């Protein structure tokens, strides 16, 4: 029966202690699914502990008094379907269910693991099928295929006999060169190849070549493996975020049938490898979020409903292995392509804010005060350097910001009771993420450090020819690496040479200018071109699934509403991933950049579209008509994404098709 909420009501949950969590929204009826498809529960008023509701447990302090919260204006007159005649809003959920909401009931036992595995198997089959085609070097594989092999022969990137290109006949077909391609290296001017990306991704590409040989399958093998694993990770990640196995499967299907993720999983470039590490790092931090909140809930329950002391800060969290794993993965992302450092910084801030929200939920006063002060110091320092200030000025800004923060806390009387206990949290976050990532980054240059035959890697001995009066001799290798990284950064930020496929980052959201990795016009009788086809064409186009990307882009506006109006931490997390992926390239928009860079934040576009599908699906307690229409529309979108993938499959895999058929696939002139 419908109940109209046209009058102002006080919140019946106001009688509970004020343990509102930063970023959380009020929870609804037990077993209900919110408008984004997330399962959330509350207890009925009869199930709440009576001592929690008693006035004696609240005290006389102002912050313990019941609050009155009225209906928002836009809710007046709204009709809510309540089968059990329950008014809205219901009582607030217990603390544990607010910190770690229960999962929505599964379809069958183990479905949360089995269904993502099935979707992963489907996506993996598509990625591995005919992986060796095109049976030649395509696009920038000409760099990374030879660099990957060089890493296992010399430990660093070596020059090849034919300069910037690899002879296609020598490296295609059956892989006759097997595991011995040393004859293709040369030292005309220098043995070391100048490269502009860290080596971690090339170690991974080379691993596939060592397993399968120096041929197209070999240098694409690990890309396909990681691209397949990413499907399973995104399904489990979405399930954890939305508390719904159904939406986890939807996210897995979206990534499995996204054209950009598919093409990058079949091409030996660094971006697909980096995407896997970014997604794995984010997923590990989500697990850490749930684990730490379970500890917060247990700690608060053990202390009862009494108010905490003013300087109480909650339980000690220890090393937090899942956050260490997240730092390791994000370090590998940075050691694959340098822009991974943006994801590292963004996710470190995100996990600190998550911790602050959990501490606020259990009653800690000013939980993020010191953390925000530390982040303010770091941000001020980073902005100063980005603006081009010399290191001496950066150092002065850092010291000045530290002094300002300390004086401000001293004047407010918060220095002694807050800093001593609370400074450890941001310090441990910095040690477990940025510092660990720096260690991983430096370790990826192990071959560059220790393999010195033929003069060693590029700039390996630079410091020997540029002695320093300050740094001791034993630091020469680190000084050389620092100089080399500086040269790489300078190249990556100043490259402005024209390219027919370069694009503006704003166009990536609508797939405005996809990159053609491979193009051929086979003659009749060759490569599957028959006389009935007439003119033939074959292309590998790094084009994201248009429907998926357009849904994800439109959902960004919904995410902003969820974040600002509903304080939804999931929306904020997804927006953080998207901003980290595209924001840097917007800053360097004048640089020569390509749309396939967007694969680094493709998982977050998938999560954005999944959240929208959950909202369209509707609440579990909505009217039957609403649920039927929601299921029909959301199901149509999912089926449409799969159908469009099948439609564009020929130009994702370089199949030979009639030229007129290829032309029909070019929906926009900029796709040609």
Condensed to tens digits (0 to 9), the pLDDT of residues 552-588 reads 999 999 999 999 998 899 999 999 999 999 998 998 8
- Cβ atoms of 202 and 447 closer than 8 Å: no
Give phi and psi for 259, each to the nearest 5.
Answer: -65, -40
Question: Which residues, at least 6 apart from 434, have a Cβ–Cβ distance to it below 8 Å?
Answer: 327, 344, 345, 348
Distance CA 227, CA 224 (A): 5
Q: Which residue has the tokens 């190849």?
A: 193
SS3 32: strand
Distance CA 512, CA 505 (A): 9
Please give the model's pTM, rounded to 2 decimal places.
Answer: 0.83
Rg (CA), the chain: 28
Quote the tokens at residue 310.
Answer: 């003013």
SS3 541: strand
Residue 477 has pLDDT above 60, yes or no: yes
More confident residue, 141 or 75: 141
Distance CA 367, CA 101 (A): 21
Distance CA 466, CA 453 (A): 21
Quote the tokens at residue 121.
Answer: 């198997």
Quote the tokens at residue 455.
Answer: 């003069």
First to last CA, the chain: 56
Distance CA 606, CA 167 (A): 38
* Tens-place pLDDT, residues 174-216: 444 444 444 467 776 678 888 889 999 999 999 999 898 888 9
pLDDT averaged over the chain? 81
Q: What is the structure's pLDDT at 146? A: 87
Q: Which residue has the tokens 């684990």?
A: 291
Give phi and psi for 130, each to the nearest 5.
Answer: 55, 45
Residue 566, judged by CB atoms within 10 A of its CB (0-12, 13-18, 19+), counts as middle
Q: How many CB atoms lie within 10 A of CB 392?
A: 8
Three-state SS for 415-459 is HHHHHHHHCHHHHHHHHHHHHHHHHHHHHCCHHHHHCCHHHCCCC
Specify the pairing of strand 39-40 against strand 32-33.
antiparallel
Distance CA 300, CA 362 (A): 6
Q: What is the structure's pLDDT at 173? A: 40
- Cβ atoms of 454 and 187 closer than 8 Å: yes
Residue 398 has pLDDT above 90, yes or no: no
Q: Which residues pair with 171 in a beta bridge?
A: none
Q: Which residues pair with 5 in a beta bridge?
A: 78
* Tens-place pLDDT, residues 278-327: 999 999 999 999 999 999 888 888 887 777 776 777 788 878 999 999 99
Compute the C-alpha angle 330/589/496, nearest 5°.
Answer: 105
Say which DSSP state 366 is in: S
Asked if the peptide bond before residue 563 counts as cis, ω within 30 degrees of 0, the response is no
Q: How far is CA 242 from CA 38, 238, 286, 526, 640, in A?
A: 5, 6, 11, 50, 22
Q: What is the structure's pLDDT at 282? A: 97
Distance CA 40, CA 86 (A): 16
Q: Work out the average pLDDT over 605-624.
A: 90
Q: What is the structure's pLDDT at 176? A: 42
Q: Work out the average pLDDT over 49-75.
A: 43
Q: Closest Cα to residue 432, out of 284, 324, 325? A: 324
Distance CA 5, CA 268 (A): 58
Q: Closest Cα to residue 329, out of 415, 235, 433? A: 433
DSSP secondary structure string for all residues of 200-269: HHHHHHHHHHHHH-SSHHHHHHHHHHHHHHHHHHHHHHHHHHHT-HHHHHHHHHHHHT-HHHHHHTTS--
**Sign of the four-CA dihedral 342, 346, 349, 351:** negative
Residue 2: band (very low, low, confident or very high) from pLDDT cuts 50, 70, 90 = very low
How many angstroms from the chain centroid is the CA of residue 318? Answer: 25
Q: Closest Cα to residue 139, out of 625, 514, 637? A: 514
Q: Which of 413-427, 430-444, 491-505 has the lowest mean pLDDT?
A: 413-427
Distance CA 650, CA 666 (A): 12
More confident residue, 269 or 173: 269
Q: What is the structure's pLDDT at 416? A: 62
Q: What is the structure's pLDDT at 419? A: 66
């Amino acid at each position: 029966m419908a109940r109209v909420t046209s009058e102002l009501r006080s919140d019946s949950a106001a009688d509970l202690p004020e343990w509102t969590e930063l970023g959380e929204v009020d929870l609804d009826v037990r077993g209900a699914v919110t408008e984004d498809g997330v399962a959330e529960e509350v207890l009925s008023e009869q199930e709440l502990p009576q001592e929690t509701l008693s006035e004696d447990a609240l005290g006389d302090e102002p912050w313990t008094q019941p609050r009155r919260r009225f209906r928002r204006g836009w809710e007046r007159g709204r009709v809510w379907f309540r089968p059990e005649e329950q008014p809205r809003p219901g009582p607030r959920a217990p603390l544990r269910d607010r910190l770690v909401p229960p999962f929505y009931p599964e379809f069958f036992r183990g479905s949360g693991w089995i269904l993502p595995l099935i979707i992963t198997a489907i996506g993996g089959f598509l990625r591995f099928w005919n992986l060796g085609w095109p049976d030649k070097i395509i696009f920038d594989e000409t760099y990374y295929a030879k660099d990957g092999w060089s890493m296992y022969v010399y430990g660093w990137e070596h020059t090849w006999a034919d300069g910037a290109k690899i002879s296609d006949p020598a490296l295609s077909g059956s892989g006759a060169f097997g595991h011995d391609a040393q004859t293709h290296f040369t030292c005309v001017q220098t043995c070391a190849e100048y490269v502009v990306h860290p080596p971690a991704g090339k170690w991974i590409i080379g691993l596939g070549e060592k397993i399968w040989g120096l041929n197209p399958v070999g240098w694409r093998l690990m890309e396909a493996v990681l691209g397949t694993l990413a499907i399973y990770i995104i399904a489990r990640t979405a399930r954890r975020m939305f508390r719904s196995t159904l939406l986890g499967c939807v996210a897995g299907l979206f990534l499995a049938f996204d054209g950009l993720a598919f093409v990058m999983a079949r091409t030996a470039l660094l971006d697909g490898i980096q995407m896997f590490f970014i997604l794995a790092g984010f997923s590990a931090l989500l697990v850490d979020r749930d684990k730490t909140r379970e500890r917060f809930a247990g700690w608060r329950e053990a202390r009862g409903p009494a108010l905490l002391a003013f300087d109480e800060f909650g339980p000690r969290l220890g090393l937090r292995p899942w956050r260490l794993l997240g730092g390791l993965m994000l370090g590998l992302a940075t050691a694959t392509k340098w822009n991974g450092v943006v994801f590292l910084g963004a996710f470190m801030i995100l996990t600190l804010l998550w911790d602050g929200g959990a501490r606020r939920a259990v009653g800690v006063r000013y939980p993020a005060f010191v953390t925000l002060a530390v982040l303010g110091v770091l941000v001020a320092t980073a902005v100063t350097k980005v603006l081009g200030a010399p290191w001496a000025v950066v150092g002065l800004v850092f010291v000045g910001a530290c002094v300002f923060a300390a004086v401000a806390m001293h004047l407010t009387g918060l220095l002694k009771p807050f800093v001593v206990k609370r400074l450890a949290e941001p310090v441990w976050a910095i040690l477990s993420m940025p510092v660990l990532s720096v260690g991983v980054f430096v370790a990826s240059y192990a071959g560059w450090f220790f393999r010195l035959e033929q003069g060693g890697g590029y700039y390996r001995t630079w410091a020997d020819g540029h002695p320093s009066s300050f740094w001791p001799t034993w630091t020469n290798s680190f000084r050389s690496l620092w100089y080399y990284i500086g040269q790489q950064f300078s190249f990556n930020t100043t490259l402005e040479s024209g390219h027919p496929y370069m694009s503006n980052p704003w166009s990536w959201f609508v797939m405005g200018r996809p990159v053609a990795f491979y193009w051929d016009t086979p003659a009749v009788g060759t490569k599957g071109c028959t006389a009935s086809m007439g003119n033939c064409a074959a292309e590998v186009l790094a084009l994201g699934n248009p429907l998926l990307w357009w849904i994800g882009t439109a959902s960004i506006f919904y995410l902003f509403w969820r974040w600002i109006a509903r304080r939804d931490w999931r929306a904020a997390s997804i927006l953080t991933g998207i901003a980290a992926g595209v924001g840097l390239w917007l800053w360097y928009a004048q640089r020569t950049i390509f749309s396939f860079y967007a694969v680094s934040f493709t998982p977050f576009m998938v999560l954005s579209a999944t959240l929208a599908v959950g909202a369209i699906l509707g609440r579990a307690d909505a009217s039957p008509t609403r649920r039927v229409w929601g299921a029909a529309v959301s199901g149509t979108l999912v089926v449409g994404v799969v159908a469009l993938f099948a439609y564009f499959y020929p130009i994702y895999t370089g199949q030979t098709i009639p030229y007129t058929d290829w032309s029909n696939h070019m929906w926009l002139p900029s796709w040609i």
